[in-house]
Structure 1
Amino acid sequence: MSAGLHPTAAPKCARVHQTAQQICDEAGISRRMFFQGQKVRRDGCAELWALIVSGDVPMSLALAVAQFDHASQRLILAEFPTIKSRKRAEFLELVKLAHAQELANGERA
């Protein structure tokens, strides 16, 4: 045994260097889902990530929400409880259109 390492430390160390495919295989998800999750984790606010982990928001919708800045994401997520899940994508499309219109008018950077 090497200096100070517990015999069960090796598997934990090996997990640090797993490939994306190994992680996907263990979790039972596709590589696409893995990388989409990374994008939402990187660009999304903490509230959005919590909704994904709880299963309340599908990844496709979370990706669309993550395109906005964190303040806008929180405003969008604040409206989600009042909207039926089937209508959330439609609501998000309206928000995107309004946001694009604001950018075109120079109202918001």
Structure 2
Amino acid sequence: MVSRGQDQAVAEAHVQMQFLENELKVKGKKFFGGDNVGLVDICACYMALWVGAAEEALGIKLMPKDKFPKLIEWSDNYINCPAVKDGLPPRETVVGIYKTL
């Protein structure tokens, strides 16, 4: 069951994610800086791996695909980028961390 505080936190997160969603829509690029991973992408990497793992572990939806399609697409592109992929921890490990917390 989701608490009122969790609902508020998700709503606040959606405001911030909407800003990023809009940036991706306006630029029409694969990553925030263009066609290659850049500084903003690296700074936003939390969303690419950890948010999805948190959703799975906690049973909540922080970044729904219907509301943030460009952000989901960016996340998939980022996680599967060869320069990034090998440096990320396994998703199962991250999900386990959230379940433990």
TM-score normalized by structure 2? 0.24
Structure with more contact order per residue of length (Cα contacts < 8 Å, sep ≥ 6): 2
For the pair shown, which has the larger CA radius of gyration, 1 or 2?
A: 1
TM-score normalized by structure 1? 0.23
